[in-house]
Amino acid sequence: MGCGRGTQRIALVIHASIVVPIALVACPASAAAFCQMTTEGGEECSDEGIPLAWETRCISFSVDARNDQNLSEEVVRGATQRAFQTWTSQHCNASDKPHFYAQLTREPAFCKEAEFCRDRGNANVISFSETWPPRRLGERVDLNPNAQASTLLSFNTRTGEIVDADILLNAQTWSFQQCLRENCLGEDRTRLDLENVLAHEVGHLLGLAHPGDEPVTATMFRSQNPGETQKRTLHPDDIAGFCAIYGARALTLPCDPTPVGGFEPDCESGEPCRVAGSSGCAVNSATADARPSENLYWLATILGLVRLRRRRRLRLAGDRARPREDMQVGVAPPG
């Protein structure tokens, strides 16, 4: 679809987490050291732009567990579930009800790209990339080769609503493991704790930016060391950030976690989809650690403005198609 009136503008923003600390950006003054991403600020603290957040607060995520690092599907899915649960288990304002729902799908993903499709269904995917950056993404942006992982958000530039998110793990540069004890460094100084990395990236997925130079023990602090596990546990400032975005009201369940355009976890079969921006229309792509190869501008039409494939049935872990009032938020059976 062209750039006519009535379309919704969708931008892609990329967040990379790195090991070596870089120059730090101060956050706007606040009672707690947390920052929310904006349409203008990328992963850094910014007073400009519209704050980014999920409007539905009820999403699904899919795991592509294929990797060359001897990590089983059970280990990868378990680490991903726990990383999400670290955030979604938080209860704000003394409420005993969830404030954000994220559920692992039963169906695995087959997608090592990060993209928001305008002509078919989508999925919020966590995957390993043995080629960094992934081929199709590398044609659009220049990722930091030393990044441990990158979280890519697609959002409405007019409202700040996040509509899609993908987490890519840099398996070309780094090795991932699931530590069974605190600080399991060992001899290989390129090995990272998978759950530690994912807990940080899920914070980005929820709309949180790097908080600046303090506190260094926060899950959202910009760097981490090989073998580190402390990001698995949220710092009070991380919790304050989550509750500032999602804590105003508790979720009313049931809710529908189906992605925009329907559920489609396979981006490898058939022809590549028309990603946001393939029309050549203009929306800014803001990055920090991931550098745009050009100042690319993209447009996507969503929510019924494009012709979509027949929706694939979304199946959640635990055989529940929709979360229920009595379901514990963010938790699915291990493995």
pLDDT at 139 over 50: yes
Please determine, for residue 273, whether its predicted confidence score (pLDDT) is greater than 90. Answer: no
**List of domains in the chain:** 10-246 (3.40.390.10)
Distance, in Å, from the CA atom of 288 to the CA atom of 145, rounded to the nearest integer, reads 13
Task: List beta partners, residue 209.
Answer: 35
Q: Read off φ and ψ for residue 204, nearest 5 degrees.
A: -60, -45
Residue 321 has pLDDT above 60, yes or no: no
| pLDDT at residue 14, rounded to an integer | 57
Q: Which is nearest to 259 in space by CA: 102, 143, 110, 75?
A: 102
Distance from C-alpha of 78 to C-alpha of 69, rounded to nearest angstrom: 16
Average pLDDT value over all residues in the chain: 75
Inform me whether the pLDDT recorded for 254 exceeds 50.
Answer: yes
Q: Is the pTM of this model over 0.85?
A: no
Helix, strand or coil, per DSSP, at residue 147: coil
Banded model confidence at residue 8, pLDDT cuts 50, 70, 90:
low
Closest to 206 (Cα-Cα) out of 55, 10, 24: 55
| CB-based contacts of 242, cutoff 8 Å, min separation 6 | 87, 90, 92, 99, 100, 203, 206, 208, 234
pLDDT band at 186 (very low <50, low <70, confident <90, very high): low
The candidate with the shortest Cα–Cα distance to 228, out of 131, 162, 148, 328, is 148
Nearest to 334 by CA among 195, 231, 203: 195
> Taking residues 77-88, what's their average pLDDT?
97
Pairwise CA distance, residues 328 & 85, whole Å = 10
Q: What is the pLDDT of residue 239?
A: 95
For residue 18, pLDDT over 70 is answered with no
Q: Read out DSSP for 7-29? A: ---EEEEEEEEBSS-----PPPP
Q: At what angle do helices 236-246 and 194-205 cross, to 10 degrees?
A: 30
